[in-house]
Amino acid sequence: MTSATRSSAKHHEGPPAPPASEAPTRSKHKRDDGVASPDAKRSRKSDEKDQQTIEESFATSSTHQDTKDGEETEDEQTTDTTLQPQDEKGTAPQTKHQNNSAVEPGGRDGSETMPSSILEKGIIYFFFRGRVGIDEPSEADDIARSYILLRPIEKDAKLGSGPIGDAGNTRLCAIPKKVLPLSGRDRWISFVEKAGASFQQIKDEFLSATDYATRTAGTRHSPAATPVGEGVYAITSTGRESHLAYMLTLPDKLGEVQKEIGLREKGSFILSTKNPEYPGPASTQLPKGPEYPKEVLKEFRSLRWMPTLPKHLDYVNTQFLLIGESSGVEKALETQKKDQKAGVEEPAEELEKLEEEDAVRMKHLNKDDASRIFADLEVHAKEFPKLQTTF
């Protein structure tokens, strides 16, 4: 297929091993547990415990900071519930659109012309939160964890002008790592913290800074979330696997921070959803599993993991494996044979169109990147940190 090009608009008993067809990984050394540490280059003073195994990935998933340098543990916390899922049930995507939304359903020629491999598309935002007490991270080690916000839109939609609009279907996915996975050796177990959320919920329960009381250290301050990128995404199926592919719109040029945390102009991850009926390692367990309906549970059969479907991400506490892909978006956006025969456009072409449209509309939202991102989320930028490109 034709490789995706940068838009001209701006210029799994255990996790499943990656298939044999996956591109060579960056690391030459593999741990006995089958999970290798990420590149040391991505954090100048990387804490080895933070960057080793999947089993260690959720050691601090229910707290809002790593327990380091004498900081309190989860048992010592009394009111820090920022990272605890706020809702008991998942919420299916809504299709409500405000009049001022840039989303134009049916804007493409027709759903029959859309690549069958694209299961979902939309707008993606990347954030991180600094460690407790660190409002302005000066290096990767100052980051507590990373986050991905997904705002799905209709498969046949195009983007017009203005903000994306609040459809009440935003998902907040928490990644218990400082950085994103880059290769097949990097496998992070992540989870859906919020589903079916409104922009107001995102603002009040995620973006904003919080102060909370502890038994041992008094009042602690958890900084506001910092934006590091915005763009478009597609969840695709290539048969045996599901992928999350993205193309960045902002920032226009990758900065030190974006490179350090593993963002690329075009990137992708393999996605696998954990069967909640099978217990995982103690360190990766959440207080409560996702409340899937029976029909969703049946689809897992006896499998511990299955390729992620968009509907899985509509349930709070869904745990999914995020595996890095060193081959960029090429495999995630490969064209299916039936689409080739039918003359349907390539997945890469659709994502490129969406990114071009996104670049145009974001350019006119505000003067600077952070203001554009927050305006898109219907939030006043002055209340939150600037989009960070340097440490």
Q: What is the DSSP string of 270-310?
A: EEEEE-TTS---GGG--SS-----HHHHHHTTT-SEEE--G
Amino acid at residue number 278: Y
Interatomic CA distance for residues 333 and 324, integer angstroms: 15
Model pLDDT, residue 216: 81
Model pLDDT, residue 65: 37
Given a cut of 60, whether residue 41 has pLDDT beyond it is no
User: What single-letter amino acid sits at 358?
Assistant: D
Calculate Rg over the CA atoms of the chain.
20
Confidence grade of residue 75 (pLDDT, cut at 50, 70, 90): very low
d(CA 103, CA 285): 37
138 pLDDT more than 70? yes
Q: Would you say 261 and 307 are in contact if contact means Cβ atoms under 8 Å apart?
A: no
Which region among 25-29, 273-277, 331-335 has the lowest average model confidence (pLDDT)? 25-29
Count CB neighbours of 20 within 10 A.
5
- Specify whether the CB–CB gap between 195 and 91 falls below 8 A: yes
Place 109 in a pLDDT band, splitting at 50, 70 and 90: confident
Section 113-137 average pLDDT:
93
Question: Which residues partner with 173 through β-bridges?
Answer: 148, 192
Mean pLDDT of 247-271: 97
Euclidean distance between CA atoms 262 and 322, whole angstroms:
13
Q: Measuring CA to CA, how many Å separate 299 from each of 190, 242, 279?
A: 21, 15, 17
Read off the pLDDT of residues 288-309 as tens digits, 9 standing for 90 and up: 999 999 999 999 999 999 999 9
**pLDDT of res. 110:** 62
Residue 123 token pair: 């707008």
pLDDT at 356: 98
- What percentage of the chain has pLDDT greater than the value 70? 74
Q: Mean of the per-residue pLDDT values for the chain?
A: 80
Number of CB atoms found within 10 A of residue 32's CB: 6
Please tell me the predicted confidence (pLDDT) of residue 221.
82
At 323-372, the pLDDT tens digits run 999 988 999 999 998 888 888 889 999 999 999 999 999 999 988 999 99
Kindly tell me if the per-residue pLDDT of 13 is higher than 70: no
Residue 26 or residue 322, greater confidence? 322
Q: Which residue is it, tokens 């900065």?
A: 255
> Which has the minimum average pLDDT: 17-31, 145-159, 295-309?
17-31
Q: Are 316 and 194 in contact (CB under 8 A)?
A: yes
Pairing of strands 187-197, 210-214: unpaired
pTM (2 d.p.): 0.77
Copy the structure tokens of residue 283: 């360190």
Nearest C-alpha neighbor of 321 from the set 341, 304, 300, 333: 304
Between CA 95 and CA 342 the distance in angstroms is 29
Residues shown for the chain: 391
pLDDT band at 112 (very low <50, low <70, confident <90, very high): low
> What's the rounded Cα separation, in Å, for the pair 364 and 248?
17
